[in-house]
Amino acid sequence: MTDTPPGYYPAQGDPPGTVRYWDGTEWLSEAIPPPPGYDPSKRPGDERFATVGVRIGAALLDGLVGMLLMLPVLIPYLADVFDDIDAGGDGTNVEVPASFLAGSIVIGIAWLLMVAFVGATPGKLMLGLRITTADGATTPPGMGPAVLRALPSLAGLIPIIGQLIPVGFAVASLVWVSRDPERRSAYDRIANTRVVRKSYLTTAPGQTD
């Protein structure tokens, strides 16, 4: 059973661009082209896509988890910074350890693999979200989309201007997620993915866990 209201919906496994009628309990038709007046941006059930607030929360949780994993590196580095300040410096003379960069790369690879083979980063897992392919149902999306979603973050490694790229993508994502019917971010647009509430994947018509 599902709480999805009656209406026309894309069904898992059907050809792209087709819909079926769901009466609230079961499918009543074969896959057909969208009927006259069908508006995918207003169809019931779009609550399955993660909102701006939830996605921001997931990103913050990802950052928190990453910071906790980096504590063995951060604590000695910050201690050296404070020692430099106590000695009359400003802390900028303390060299960032190579282990910090190495740790960041390892975490980035771990996040990429999680997206590819689990369908979520740690923050999305904690908030009950999954990254899917364009159909909003197939997860995990695989390595190709995972790499494409990671490209803006990798661009941040470019000297000087590289830091502006992730910021620009973050701002664009906030705008697009708030306006797009399927709440696609800039990362989703690059990789043709969607971020969906896991509960929808287990309860929506035609879906299985």
Helix, coil or strand: residue 131: strand
Please name the residue that has the structure tokens 């990103």: 59
Please count the other Cβ atoms lying within 10 Å of the Cβ belonging to residue 78: 13
Please count the other Cβ atoms lying within 10 Å of the Cβ belonging to residue 55: 21
Alpha-carbon distance 119 to 112, whole Å? 10
Q: What's the chain's average pLDDT?
A: 83
Helix, strand, coil percent values for the chain (each to nearest 5): 50, 10, 40
Residue boundaries of the structural domains of the chain: 1-44, 47-203
pLDDT per residue as tens digits for the range 109-122:
999 999 999 999 99
pLDDT value at 65 more than 90: yes
| Contact partners, residue 126, CB within 8 Å, separation at least 6 | 58, 61
* Strand pairing category for 129-132 and 20-22: unpaired
Q: Quick one: tokens of 3? A: 């709480």
| pLDDT band, residue 19 (cuts 50/70/90) | confident
pLDDT at 39: 66
